[in-house]
Amino acid sequence: MKIGYYQFNPEFGNVENNIEKMTKALESVHADLIVLPELATSGYLFTNKEEPRSLAEKFPGILSKEFLRLSEKTGTSYVVGFPEYAEEGVYNSAALITPEGIQYIYRKTHLFFEEKKYFLPGKEYKIVDVKGYKIGILICFDHMFPEAARTLALKGAQVICHPSNLVLPEYGQLTTRVRALENRVFWILANRIGTEERGGSKLVYTGESQILSPKGEIINRAGAEEESVFVTEIDPEEAADKKVTEFNNIFEDRRPEIYTL
């Protein structure tokens, strides 16, 4: 299975430009699965509730149309972050878009900082199929909750896709390595780069997108500041091996009866 990411600097508020930038960058890249950052269509640093609502995708919108066209052309599936319009409010979501259509939308379950003012939290973790392999999705701050990745792994995830806008230096790059190795899964962290300054606040995004093996090895890591497309070949079946030693299996050795969760 060929997996990869696109790390770039979305321009705040310019959905059309951001979608054009992503689709242009990926037009001649062929893989099975490519992950893009969190809120890649809109940017991140909102200053009021109206902004995420007005920048949100109301299906079917420009994101669906352009990524479906791209997916049909390249044969690649994409996981891309965007604000999702719903009757009841806006979600911080990521869509799995394949040549066959939009297969799944994950809604971020752990909202970070002021996201709590702008978004509703999602309520489920689900496994979806890409080319016969089991894929799970988490978004950014979800990485701080080992239960989220563990739930996906227990449901059979072989590859976890992780669109992000990480701002705490080294946190996400460290935890995702641990999540990959403690669950024995592949992990695609697609982070963004750049700086946003709006309404008196400033955020610097940490880049360093990375692909991790089920042993926590860094297969590839992007730079902290440059735009980057990367694709590599993996064997997702390696994620079936939950053995740590001859005597230890990461799932069978769990002791849920004595945990407080």
Scanning 121-129, 165-173, 222-230, 252-260 for contacts with ligand ACM by CB under 6 A, the matching segment is 165-173
Query: Helix crossing, 62-74 with 15-26: angle to 10°?
Result: 0
Residues 83-112 that bind ligand ACM (CB under 6 A): 112
How far apart CA 187 and CA 136 sit, in angstroms, is: 9
CA distances from 249 to 212, 238, 244, 245 (A): 20, 14, 6, 7
Q: Does 45 bind ligand ACM (CB under 6 A)?
A: no
Structure tokens at 72: 């049909």
Scanning 50-58, 119-127, 163-171, 182-190 for contacts with ligand ACM by CB under 6 A, the matching segment is 163-171
- Is 115 marked active-site? no
Nearest partner of 188 among 176, 199, 205, 197, judged by Cα: 176
Q: Using the structure block, give the residue that is written with the tokens 């990926």.
A: 26
Scanning 15-23, 95-103, 160-168, 221-229 for contacts with ligand ACM by CB under 6 A, the matching segment is 160-168
How far apart CA 93 and CA 75 sit, in angstroms, is: 23
Q: Does 19 bind ligand ACM (CB under 6 A)?
A: no
What lies within 8 Å, CB to CB, of 200 at 6+ separation is: none
Binding residues for ligand ACM, total number by CB under 6 A: 7
Q: Does 166 bind ligand ACM (CB under 6 A)?
A: yes
Q: Which of 108, 134, 161, 196 is catalytic?
A: 108
How far apart CA 180 and CA 160 sit, in angstroms, is: 8
- Is 38 marked active-site? yes
Q: What value, to the nearest 5°, has the Cα angle with vertex 139 and ends 4 and 42?
A: 85
Q: Does 140 bind ligand ACM (CB under 6 A)?
A: yes
Q: Does 187 bind ligand ACM (CB under 6 A)?
A: no
Binding mask 209-238 for ligand ACM (x = CB under 6 A): ------------------------------
Scanning 72-80, 162-170, 180-188, 231-239 for contacts with ligand ACM by CB under 6 A, the matching segment is 162-170
Active site residues: 38, 108, 140
Residues lying near ligand ACM in the complex (CB under 6 A):
38, 112, 140-141, 165-167
